[in-house]
Amino acid sequence: MAFTLGGRARRLVSATSVHQNGCLHKLQQIGSDRFQLGEAKAIRLLPRRTNMVQELGIREEFMDLNRETETSYDFLDEMRHRFLKFKRQKYLPEIEKFKALAIAQSPKVMVIGCADSRVCPSYVLGFQPGEAFTIRNVANLVTPVQNGPTETNSALEFAVTTLQVENIIVMGHSNCGGIAALMSHQNHQGQHSSLVERWVMNGKAAKLRTQLASSHLSFDEQCRNCEKVTNSKHLFILRSLIPEADLCVCVCVCVFSCVGVGIYKGFCDEFDNLFMDKR
């Protein structure tokens, strides 16, 4: 059994272990800065990973204590703390998994989600690193290919043709600011509109359909209906973009008020509330 050590480990090898008959034997070089040692010579280094985890834990506790006594918020310090916590609690215990992910990815799912900070697909649906190829934009819109290339369409093409995902989820949510911007946008506005307004008008067909069917409702209720209509229309757009792909495509809307997820099955406009749980 052999261990591969970095260049910093050279000083840990005593001079007596590399001298024989008065001559210094050159260690076999692997790459530019790695050496292979016998098990007997490397045994003293085995506790290193355990020590690293312990050191990170002590450092994290120290930072927690410091933050409790500080009155000002240090954003970079907070990010550093979160990274060290991730490294200690998730990366190091599963280091072999992350080494494999560093070489390649093979996700089975693509998620098209909203950029809203309250609805992170990996957080809500529990995806782990390497499980879901994700793209997010304002109002989680999927645009027809005739509208020109977008980051969503290019990501979709890559996911289907290169990564060969088996499932696509379009994940919307209630109280979406992008949908509210769409519903409040005046159709006669053109070149003077903001980038956000011009972007959300990709959902104009859903807006017109909503206004036609629910003009008697309040603005908030119209927005809720438009969230559903917009997401249901994504199914048809996706099928037109990837007509020959053998994929499971679904649309879901995360509802904040009852912490539930409604699922569209097939090409219907009605929700399947199997994911609803009001506890």
For the chain, which residues make up each domain, given as ranges?
Answer: 2-45, 48-101, 105-275
Bind-site residues: 114, 116, 173, 176
Residue 56's pLDDT is 59
Dump pLDDT digits (tens) for 85-118: 999 999 999 999 999 999 999 999 999 999 999 9
pTM above threshold 0.95: no
Residues facing residue 258 across a β-bridge: none
Task: Find the helix or strand (DSSP H, E) in which 168 lies.
Answer: strand 167-173
Phi-psi group of 172: left, alpha or beta (phi > 0 → left; psi -120 to 50 → alpha; rest → beta): beta
**8 Å CB contact between 192 and 208:** no
The architecture in CATH of the region 105-275 reads 3-Layer(aba) Sandwich (3.40)
pLDDT in tens, the chain (279 residues): 443 444 444 443 344 444 444 433 433 333 333 333 333 333 344 445 555 556 656 566 656 656 555 556 789 999 999 999 999 999 999 999 999 999 999 999 999 999 999 999 999 899 999 999 999 999 999 988 887 889 999 999 999 999 999 999 999 888 999 999 999 987 655 555 689 988 999 999 889 999 988 889 999 999 988 988 887 777 778 877 777 677 888 888 888 766 566 665 544 444 444 444 444
Q: Residue 188 class from Cβ within 10 Å (0-12 exposed, 13-18 middle, 19+ buried)?
A: exposed
Determine the pLDDT at residue 16. 42
- Binding residue numbers for Zn(2+): 114, 116, 173, 176
The pLDDT, as a whole number, for residue 47 is 46
